[in-house]
């Protein structure tokens, strides 16, 4: 469940100022169009910190094992249930890459060549978008938030996309992304208020988070799943229309080829999740 406190969106319809947008409850962009040049800071790879005072381990006991600087890093991520109903688990990566603090107007980056935990903090309770890229990886790729029950995305040999992250706990707590990949990968983190402004019909493949600056009264989504099958979920969050105290949200989804239309006022944010090809048309 995505829960966010007040955030502000830039209205692209002729720079009329900033539109207040509050996200409460549940819910890639063309960087060349970004009006403000973000300050990138590449994080250094590191390893988990051990306890300052390690005690001798008693024979046959592991009770005094070395502790990590963050208890969450030593936890295990629950996987899917097997056919016999038993839950599988995967140990977390031991390498930690600290991306720093995500602030308005800046982009934080993290990169490595093996699986790792990417940690970051945020200066306020805005929504954070993660842009992941691993075009020449080996084998399976998985991107997941620590504390989430399912991955943000998976791929084989290559994976690229952008994702609207859940706020796990509170904005004051450190957030963690689990990257399982063998190959050179890169993550960019920014506030959704700093997404590049997109205009007109949008089309692409896979997961994407878009800020649409055009005025529109509805969206139409065309979807074509990949050969192996897939599904697509599209969530549109209005920056100019509210349902009580929260933004108006429209959702479109399906697992087969479809063309669907939903009425909702834009500008706003469109989140696309899934596999396959899609096209989003704006309807005035």
**pLDDT tens digits, 50-63:** 444 444 444 444 44
Which residues is 112 bridged to in the sheet?
185
What's this model's pTM, rounded to 2 decimal places? 0.71
Provide the 3-class DSSP secondary structure of residue 31. helix
Domains of the chain in sequence order: 35-45+93-193 (2.60.120.260), 196-283 (2.60.120)
What Rg value do the Cα atoms of the chain yield, rounded? 20
Share of the chain above pLDDT 90, in %: 64
Digit-coded pLDDT (tens) for 128-156? 999 999 999 999 999 999 999 999 999 99
Contact between residue 151 and residue 198 where contact means Cβ atoms under 8 Å apart: no
The set of residues, in sequence order, having a beta carbon less than 8 Å from that of 14 and lying 6+ positions away, is none
The pLDDT value given to residue 128: 97
Place of tokens 């060549």: 113
Q: What are the angstrom distances between the C-alpha of 15 and each of 9, 11, 161, 217?
A: 11, 6, 28, 19
Q: What count of other Cβ atoms lies within 10 Å of the Cβ of residue 196?
A: 18
Q: From residue 215, give the alpha-carbon distance in Å to each of 91, 111, 241.
A: 47, 37, 12
Q: What is the pLDDT of residue 171?
A: 86
Tell me: pLDDT of 105 over 60. yes
User: How confident is the model over 197-239, as pLDDT tens digits?
Assistant: 999 999 999 999 999 999 999 999 999 999 989 999 999 999 9
């Amino acid at each position: 469940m995505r829960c966010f406190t007040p955030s502000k969106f830039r209205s692209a319809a002729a720079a009329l100022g900033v539109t207040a947008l509050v996200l409460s409850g549940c819910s890639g962009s063309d960087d060349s169009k970004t009006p403000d040049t973000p300050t990138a800071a590449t994080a250094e790879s590191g390893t988990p910190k051990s306890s300052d005072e390690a005690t001798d381990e008693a024979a046959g006991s592991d009770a005094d094992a070395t502790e990590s600087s963050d208890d969450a890093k030593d936890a295990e991520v629950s996987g899917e249930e097997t056919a016999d109903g038993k839950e599988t688990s995967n140990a977390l990566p031991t390498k930690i890459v600290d991306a720093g603090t995500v602030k308005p107007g800046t982009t934080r980056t993290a990169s490595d060549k093996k699986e790792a935990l990417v940690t970051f903090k945020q200066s306020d309770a805005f929504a954070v978008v993660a842009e992941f890229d691993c075009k020449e990886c080996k084998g399976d790729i998985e991107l997941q938030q620590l504390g989430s029950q399912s991955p943000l995305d998976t791929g084989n040999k290559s994976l690229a996309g952008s994702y609207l992250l859940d706020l796990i706990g509170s904005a004051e707590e450190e957030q963690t992304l689990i990257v399982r990949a063998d190959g050179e990968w890169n993550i960019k983190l920014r506030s959704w208020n700093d997404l590049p402004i997109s205009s007109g019909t949008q089309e692409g493949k896979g997961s994407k988070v878009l800020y649409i600056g055009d005025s529109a009264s509805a969206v139409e989504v065309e979807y074509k799943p990949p050969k192996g099958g897939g599904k697509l979920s599209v969530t549109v969050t209005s920056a100019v229309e509210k349902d009580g105290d929260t933004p108006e949200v429209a959702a479109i989804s399906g697992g087969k080829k479809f063309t669907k239309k939903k009425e909702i006022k834009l500008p706003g944010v469109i989140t696309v999740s899934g596999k396959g090809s899609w096209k989003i048309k704006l309807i005035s």
